[in-house]
Amino acid sequence: MQIFLTFLLIIFFLGASQATACAAHRVIIDTDMGGDDAAAIVLAAKSPAIQIEGVTVVSGNVDLEQAAKNALMTLEVVGSTAQVYKGSSKSFAGIENETFSVYGNDGMGDADLIHPKRSANNKSAVDFILETVKANPDEIEIVLIGPATNVALAIDKDPVTMSRVKRFWSMGTSGFGEGNATPVAEFNVYKDAEAYKILLDSGVPTTIISWDIAKDEKVCFNKKFLDRMKNASPVQKFIAVANEKYLKFCRDIQKTEYEPVSDAVLIAAMAWDDFVQETAVCHASCMIDRNETYGQVIFYRKDYAYDAMPTFDSYNVEVVTKVKSAQFLSRYDKILSSKL
């Protein structure tokens, strides 16, 4: 009898542990839906530690309508029934900061992948964000893998409710290195620096995966990896084909043999407890003057002695500075090949 009771207790605690893991991160994913966004969303959908409450889209890599279709198709391919909500088609300030998509005209490699059976929800992204956070104070985390416009609009509309977001996870900024939109600015921030400043100034705890971390070759897709995924599961093939055009751009224009998939690295940082190895607590300031520094985010490290150090009331971000990069591709591949 004692052995039987012990067995039941073990089963109970294992079940409770699994339930806790499944509920570790309740997230809204806010995205502009290029190929790397798709790589991130399928990883989130496949990760037991993440529960997708909904996906909100914003213009960035592609226009708003295309972003919604890409999100719907990606969720369909991975077997997720999460709803998609359309957000802003312009920046917070209403000014278009022109860039081009390295993922093709449709953001997904121009490979005729996008034929979703569902449509986006009629509720706006901002209303969905506010209603979800209000109903679940201090429980919802928002993952930003595109410009921060939707989140900034939600903060502007109802700052009290948005103060109850548990955490922002941002793929953005050039970190402590060079940018990709300009020498000092990363794409997501550059597309709407005014919105990113609002996010940084919100007071909500924020974790950042920056462009300099994402450029590490070990956390990037390469031709060998994509070729292998093209001959694997439907989910893997979808991601491989969606990212082929980006890899071609990297090889032809940037003269590298790999493509950063920074959004997926952000999801890994959230989902894998042992993936992040080092972080830097910083005060982050976003430059919004319309000059060559537009979109630059300056990080002042806590407990670091600067010769002309300003005084800050708070240190508002945690910047990931080191990850277990050597494990990324194998773990990503294994998770995508698993059944939900």
Task: Say how many CA atoms lie within 13 Å of 285 toward its Cβ.
Answer: 11
Q: What SS3 state is found at 298? A: strand
- The reply to whether 233 falls in a domain is yes
Q: Give domain status of residue 10, yes or no.
A: no
pLDDT tens readout for residues 153-169: 999 999 999 999 999 99
Return the pLDDT at 103: 84
- The total of structural domains in the chain comes to 1
Bridge partners (DSSP) listed for residue 297: 286
Say if residue 23's pLDDT is above 60. Answer: no
DSSP 186-224: -HHHHHTHHHHHHHHTT---EEEE-HHHHT-GGGEEEHH
Does residue 183 or residue 314 have the better pLDDT? 183
Closest of 26, 35, 22 to residue 263, by C-alpha: 35
In this prediction, residues 90-117 reach a mean pLDDT of 88
- What pairs with residue 167 in β-bridges? 141
276-286 and 84-86: which strand pairing? unpaired
Name the β-bridge partners of 185: 296
Closest of 127, 199, 198, 194 to residue 170, by C-alpha: 199
**For residue 18, is it within any domain?**
no
User: CA-CA-CA-CA torsion for 144, 178, 296, 281, nearest 10 degrees?
Assistant: 70
User: What is the distance between the alpha carbons of residues 224 and 93, in angstroms, rounded to a whole number?
Assistant: 42
Q: How far is CA 317 from CA 11, 265, 285, 314, in A?
A: 39, 17, 10, 9
Residue 7 in domain: no
241-280 core/surface letters (b: 16 or more CB in 10 A; e: else): bbbbbbbebbeeeeeeebbbbbbbbbbbbbbbeebbeebb
pLDDT, tens digit (0-9, with 9 covering 90-100), for 60-96: 999 999 999 999 999 999 999 999 999 999 999 988 7
CA 221 and chain centroid, separation? 16
Q: What angle do CA 247, 249, 253 make, to 5 degrees?
A: 130
* Predicted TM-score (pTM) of this structure: 0.91
Q: Would you state the pLDDT for residue 14?
A: 46
> What count of Cα atoms within 13 Å lies in the side-chain half-sphere of residue 135?
8
Query: Stretch 175-187: mean pLDDT, rounded?
Result: 95
Q: Look at residue 340 in the predicted model and tell me its pLDDT.
A: 60
For residue 200, the enclosing domain spans 25-337
Domain of residue 282, CATH code: 3.90.245.10
Residue 13 is assigned to a structural domain of this protein = no
Asked if pLDDT for residue 9 goes beyond 50, the answer is: no
**pLDDT tens-place string over residues 235-245:** 999 999 999 99
In a domain, 6, yes or no: no
The dihedral through the CA atoms of 254, 259, 261, 265 has a sign that is negative
* Residue pair 332/264 in contact by the 8 Å Cβ criterion: yes
| 175 conformational bin, left if phi > 0, alpha if psi -120 to 50, beta if neither | left
